[in-house]
């Protein structure tokens, strides 16, 4: 008997799922939930394990004795948000330290909301990640071709490093120009730092993110060093606690690249753990869509709707869309991440008026004080308040009855907001839901359009606390025919599921700047070096060598164009023909993404990067294997009915049937209008939609299919 454990630490709760698999292949799933315990997150971690072991009826120690523990943590993110990071010193090429203050000028605003961009008088730059006094410029220079133009001046470097150590830095980031072409100076500087201060946490940019573009690479390296010490502290404590409770295997951590990495690797490159929680949800969706074909398509848009944000992801042909940068505040940095974009729209978004216009968000009441109806001191009406007033939420069965909703207070506040527009509380609530649904759909549409896809050709997966509330409306707005609320019965453990279902994934990238025709010998050298790195890391992670599947990626662009395309190419030994094959694969993918005839081959090609991805199954958990109970039978879960206001029907009040989600059987069909209540999410089924329970326990809603 083996236990697969997935743990997701959020700001409020730590969720853990534990899957007990028996020798006959059957599996039983239990969820453990505990309050998060910042700053010592490991305590909440162990508490959630204990809760799950109790559900399985075993002692924690017995469970851990034969368990695999997989984990997505927010320690790095939290440290950044609360600015409880290490004091970092930066070593960089002389003349170029100011790159981190210049912040690419207006480039820093690229991912900021439009109202911030428009109001130039209120713009600012954030506090520097490293103050000027802790930046040291080193005499050395490497050119784009890797040539050393100025030898590393070690004597002066030593002086500079000693000065930083004297100033009390707790970590050092080293990022030199063109270290992607030649990392010799960065490595040597790291040796010198280790000589002078053996315990100091050091990251070098050619390790952290070997991509051309010094700004984003330097920020990644700094962020890595900022969270390195707190992460090391946390993982050390967690591993001690786990071992004390009988765990013997290696701890694996979720990375933003969408796979599990070894805890030691995460200690060295903690920047990879930032954003791994939302990524886990996307991995879960990819698994569900490919293994169990829930929703009937391998093209999926994911909407993770929480209290303050909507996180949007895209899966095309079963593979999550990736991007090469992530953002922290106005700082954009290189990270090999799944493309999850956050928009400030959620249950806590505040409803307000601006002249004679009603607006929802972007301000949020967040978890504290939260919506008015939660009764935790919130005073401004939110989306959740509007949903409560419309009758979408059951005041007595919210969060499985843990929160009793104060609908009257929400109604009173909405009445005040709506008054200048001549709207009643009910009308205001309906208007707010309509606006926020439209806003969320617009954000999703824009994301998918920017990625080059047509939203109508996708299935929508809607999850998170607000996933069920907005699911049908978003699908309707986007023109999607099917929307899935995945594993509704276990909604709270969704991200933890994604973690447990993840493969081990190591990506080894290298930046390169080759003009066509590319030299096969050079490419072969790089492939072999990257493959060696991948094997080394995965074997350290406990993966047998023959379980590793390699995937080779090349990043290529047309010489005079800026769009870089990541294409999967052949591995093996390259010759001129293989190089041609690489270029053909690129041109094919380029046209698919940007349109026929959009590339300019006459200018030649530039190879900007190579990557080897090594992947290996770990838990082998597949959603296809999840059995959620008996199929067929009558719908026995009708709980009663209540009056619900449907904005899509012009604010009509309809006595609407309410179903108890957990009591529904597989293949049960429910025609809208209806509401299905689960402990952690409430699913709204609009008038022309039909909901059906999938064998995985997911609710699949088909729009416009009602006879």
Partner 1 sequence: MADLDPAPKLDQFSAEASGWNGRQQSYRPRSDWKTRVSQNVRFHEEQADDIDPITYEVIRQKLWTINIAHGDTITRISGSPVLATLDFNMSILTEDAEVVLNAPYVQLLNAGAPLGIRYILETLSDRPGIDDGDIFCCNDPWIGACHQMDVLFAAPIFVEGQLFGWVANAGHQYDLGGIVPGGWPQNAQDVYSDPIVLPPFKLVERGEMRKDLEAVYLRQSRLPDLVALDLRAQIAGAVFARGQIVALCNRFGAPTIKAAMRRMLDQAQRAFQQKLLLIPDGTWTEVRYLDDALPGNRAAQRTQLNVTKKGDRLIIDNAGTDRETPGVNGIPFTSWSGSITGIISVSMLYEQLFAYGGSERQIDYRPTPGLLTCVNHPTAVSGGILQAVTMMNAAQAVFSRMMACDPGLKEDLVAPCSDFELPVLVGYDDRGNFFGQALLDAFAGGSGARSFGDGINTSGPSYSPLSMALNVELIEQWYPILYLYRKEDADGAGAGKWRGGTGLRSAITPYRAQSMSIITNTAGQSVSAQNAPGLFGGYPSVAGHYVVRRGTNLADEMAQRRLPDSIDSLTADETVTLMAKSNGAVLGGGDVFELRVGGGGGYGDPIERAPDLVLNDVRSGWVSHAAAQSIYGVMLSAEGTLDAAATASRRDALREERSHWQQPAGHHAGRHVKPASGEPDRAVHEYVVATDRGDERVLACSKCGHSYCGYTDNYKAGALSHEGPVMLMPTAQDPSYYNDQPIVLRRYCCPGCQVQLSVEVVRADEPLLAEMMLT
Applying CB under 8 A, the span of 142-150, 158-166, 223-231, 294-302 interacting with partner 1 comes to 142-150
Q: Which is nearer to partner 1, 351 or 543 (CB)?
A: 351
Q: Which residues contact 355 (CB under 8 A, 6 or more apart)?
A: none
Applying CB under 8 A, the span of 12-20, 302-310, 547-555, 597-605 interacting with partner 1 comes to 597-605
Burial readout 614-651 (b: 16 or more C-beta within 10 A, e: otherwise): bbbebbebebeebebeeeeeeeebebeeeebbbbbeeb
> Which residues on adjacent β-strands are paired with residue 463?
304
Q: Which is nearer to partner 1, 150 or 666 (CB)?
A: 150
Task: Report the relative pairing of strands 605-616 and 669-671 from DSSP bridges.
Answer: unpaired
Q: What part of residues 564-593 is at the interface with partner 1 (CB under 8 A)?
A: 593
Q: What part of residues 422-461 is at the interface with partner 1 (CB under 8 A)?
A: 431, 434-435, 438-439, 442-443, 445-446, 449-450, 452
Q: Minimal CA–CA distance to 347: which of 384, 296, 316, 374?
A: 384
Q: Minimal CA–CA distance to 292: which of 5, 626, 670, 700?
A: 626
Applying CB under 8 A, the span of 12-20, 283-291, 595-603, 676-684 interacting with partner 1 comes to 595-603
Q: Which of 127, 166, 199, 562 binds partner 1 (CB under 8 A)?
A: 562
Q: Which is nearer to partner 1, 151 or 248 (CB)?
A: 151
Q: What part of residues 65-104 is at the interface with partner 1 (CB under 8 A)?
A: 93-99, 101-104
Q: Which is nearer to partner 1, 139 or 551 (CB)?
A: 139
- Write out the two tokens for 168: 């009390």
Is residue 673 reached through a cis peptide bond, with omega within 30 degrees of 0 on the bond before it?
Answer: yes
Rounded to a whole number of angstroms, the minimum distance from the CB of residue 153 to partner 1 is: 4
> Which residues on adjacent β-strands are paired with residue 553?
568, 611
Q: Minimal CA–CA distance to 416: which of 403, 405, 429, 397?
A: 429
Applying CB under 8 A, the span of 38-46, 139-147, 251-259, 369-377 interacting with partner 1 comes to 139-147
Q: Which of 280, 358, 510, 530 binds partner 1 (CB under 8 A)?
A: 358
Q: Which is nearer to partner 1, 109 or 568 (CB)?
A: 109
Q: Which is nearer to partner 1, 437 or 680 (CB)?
A: 437
Q: Which is nearer to partner 1, 329 or 627 (CB)?
A: 329
**Alpha-carbon distance values, 166 to 138, 159, 198, 253, 479 (Å):** 17, 11, 14, 34, 61
Ramachandran assignment for 568, one of left (phi > 0), alpha (psi -120 to 50 degrees), beta (any other)? beta
322 is a contact residue toward partner 1 (CB under 8 A) = no
421 is a contact residue toward partner 1 (CB under 8 A) = yes
339 is a contact residue toward partner 1 (CB under 8 A) = no
334 is a contact residue toward partner 1 (CB under 8 A) = no
- Whether the CB-CB separation of 345 and 232 falls below 8 Å is answered with no
Q: Which residues contact 696 (CB under 8 A, 6 or more apart)?
A: 288, 292, 294, 486, 487, 623, 624, 626, 628
Q: Which is nearer to partner 1, 328 or 590 (CB)?
A: 590
Applying CB under 8 A, the span of 51-59, 141-149, 283-291, 668-676 interacting with partner 1 comes to 141-149
- Whether the CB-CB separation of 657 and 589 falls below 8 Å is answered with no
Applying CB under 8 A, the span of 29-37, 235-243, 356-364, 396-404 interacting with partner 1 comes to 356-364
Applying CB under 8 A, the span of 149-157, 219-227, 281-289, 364-372 interacting with partner 1 comes to 149-157
Rounded to a whole number of angstroms, the minimum distance from the CB of residue 192 to partner 1 is: 15
Q: Minimal CA–CA distance to 172: which of 232, 92, 116, 110?
A: 92
Phi, psi of 529 (to 5 degrees): -65, -40
- Write out the two tokens for 403: 């929160």
Q: Which of 465, 466, 599, 672 binds partner 1 (CB under 8 A)?
A: 599
Applying CB under 8 A, the span of 323-331, 409-417, 554-562, 571-579 interacting with partner 1 comes to 554-562
Q: Which is nearer to partner 1, 97 or 637 (CB)?
A: 97
Q: Which of 68, 341, 557, 694 binds partner 1 (CB under 8 A)?
A: 557
Q: What part of residues 525-544 is at the interface with partner 1 (CB under 8 A)?
A: none
Q: Which residues contact 632 (CB under 8 A, 6 or more apart)?
A: 665, 666, 667
Biggest CA–CA distance in the chain, Å, is: 81
Rounded to a whole number of angstroms, the minimum distance from the CB of residue 595 to partner 1 is: 5
The gap from C-alpha 439 to its chain's centroid, in whole angstroms, comes to: 21
DSSP conformation class of 139? S
Q: Which is nearer to partner 1, 57 or 452 (CB)?
A: 452
Q: Which of 23, 577, 602, 707 binds partner 1 (CB under 8 A)?
A: 602
Phi, psi of 200 (to 5 degrees): -70, 140
- Whether the CB-CB separation of 171 and 86 falls below 8 Å is answered with yes
Q: Which is nearer to partner 1, 154 or 241 (CB)?
A: 154
Rounded to a whole number of angstroms, the minimum distance from the CB of residue 452 to partner 1 is: 6
What span, in angstroms and rounded, lies between the C-alpha atoms of 476 and 472? 6
598 is a contact residue toward partner 1 (CB under 8 A) = yes
Q: What part of residues 613-672 is at the interface with partner 1 (CB under 8 A)?
A: none
Number of residues that bind partner 1 (CB under 8 A): 85
Q: What part of residues 462-521 is at the interface with partner 1 (CB under 8 A)?
A: 513
- Write out the two tokens for 226: 């900022």
Phi, psi of 83 (to 5 degrees): 55, 35
Q: What part of residues 165-224 is at the interface with partner 1 (CB under 8 A)?
A: 177-178, 180, 212-216
Rounded to a whole number of angstroms, the minimum distance from the CB of residue 570 to partner 1 is: 25
Q: Which is nearer to partner 1, 215 or 265 (CB)?
A: 215
What span, in angstroms and rounded, lies between the C-alpha atoms of 595 and 593? 6
């Amino acid at each position: 008997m083996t236990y697969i454990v997935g743990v997701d630490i959020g700001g409020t709760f730590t969720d853990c799922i534990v899957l007990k698999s028996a020798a006959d292949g059957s599996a039983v799933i239990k969820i453990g939930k505990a309050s998060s315990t910042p700053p010592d997150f490991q305590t909440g971690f162990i508490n959630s394990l204990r809760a799950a072991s109790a559900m399985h009826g075993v002692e924690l120690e017995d469970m851990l004795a034969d368990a695999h523990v997989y984990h997505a943590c927010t320690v790095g993110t939290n440290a950044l948000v609360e600015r409880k990071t290490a004091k970092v010193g930066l070593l960089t090429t002389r003349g170029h330290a100011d790159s981190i203050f210049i912040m690419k000028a207006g480039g820093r605003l690229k991912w900021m909301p439009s109202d911030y961009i428009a109001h130039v008088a209120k713009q600012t730059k954030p506090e520097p990640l490293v103050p000027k006094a802790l930046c040291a410029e080193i005499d050395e220079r490497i050119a784009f071709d890797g040539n050393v133009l100025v030898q590393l001046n070690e004597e002066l470097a030593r002086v500079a490093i000693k000065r930083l150590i004297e100033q009390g830095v707790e970590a050092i980031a080293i990022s030199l120009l063109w270290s992607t072409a030649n990392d010799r100076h960065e490595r040597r500087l790291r040796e010198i730092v280790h000589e002078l201060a053996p315990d100091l946490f050091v990251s070098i940019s050619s390790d952290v993110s070997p991509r051309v573009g010094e700004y984003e690479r330097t920020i990644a390296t700094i962020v890595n060093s900022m969270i390195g010490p707190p992460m090391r502290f946390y993982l050390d404590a967690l591993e001690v606690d786990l071992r004390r409770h009988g765990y013997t295997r290696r701890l694996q951590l979720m990375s933003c690249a969408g796979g599990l990495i070894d805890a030691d690797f995460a200690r060295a490159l903690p920047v990879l753990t930032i954003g791994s929680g939302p990524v886990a949800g996307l991995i879960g969706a990819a698994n569900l869509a490919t293994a169990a074909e829930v929703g009937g398509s391998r093209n999926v848009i994911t909407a993770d709707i929480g209290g303050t944000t909507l996180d949007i992801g895209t899966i095309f042909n079963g593979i999550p869309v990736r991007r090469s940068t992530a953002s922290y505040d106005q700082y954009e940095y290189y990270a090999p991440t799944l493309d999850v974009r956050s928009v400030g729209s959620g249950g806590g978004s505040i409803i307000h008026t601006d002249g004679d216009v009603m607006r929802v968000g972007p301000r949020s009441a967040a978890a504290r004080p939260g919506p008015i109806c939660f009764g935790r001191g919130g005073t401004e009406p939110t989306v959740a308040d509007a949903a409560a007033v419309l009758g979408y939420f059951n005041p007595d069965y919210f969060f499985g009855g843990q929160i009793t909703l104060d609908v009257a207070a929400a109604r009173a506040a909405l009445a005040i907001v709506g008054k200048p527009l001549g709207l009643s509380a009910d009308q205001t609530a309906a208007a707010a839901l309509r606006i926020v649904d439209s806003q969320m759909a617009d954000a999703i549409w824009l994301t998918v359009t920017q990625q080059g896809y047509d939203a109508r050709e996708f299935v929508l997966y809607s999850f998170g606390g607000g996933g069920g509330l907005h699911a049908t409306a978003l699908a309707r707005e986007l023109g999607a025919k099917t929307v899935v609320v995945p594993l509704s019965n276990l909604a709270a453990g969704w991200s933890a599921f994604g973690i447990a279902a993840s493969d081990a994934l190591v990506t080894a990238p290298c930046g390169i700047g080759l003009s066509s025709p590319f030299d096969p010998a050079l490419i072969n050298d790089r492939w072999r070096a990257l493959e060696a790195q991948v094997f080394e890391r995965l074997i350290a992670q406990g993966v047998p060598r023959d379980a590793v599947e390699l995937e080779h990626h090349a990043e290529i662009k047309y010489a005079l164009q800026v769009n870089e395309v990541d294409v999967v190419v052949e591995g093996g030994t390259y010759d001129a023909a293989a190089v041609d094959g690489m270029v053909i694969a690129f041109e094919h993918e380029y046209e698919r993404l940007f349109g026929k005839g959009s590339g300019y081959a006459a200018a030649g090609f530039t190879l900007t990067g190579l990557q080897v991805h090594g992947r290996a199954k770990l838990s082998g958990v597949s959603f296809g294997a999840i059995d959620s109970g008996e199929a067929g039978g009558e719908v026995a879960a009708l709980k009663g009915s209540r009056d619900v206001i449907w904005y899509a029907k012009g604010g009509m009040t309809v006595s609407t049937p309410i179903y108890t989600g957990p009591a529904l059987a597989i293949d049960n069909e429910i025609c809208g209008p209806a509401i299905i209540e689960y402990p952690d999410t409430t699913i709204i089924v609009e008038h022309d939609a039909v909901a059906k329970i999938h064998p995985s326990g997911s609710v699949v809603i088909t729009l416009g299919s009602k006879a």
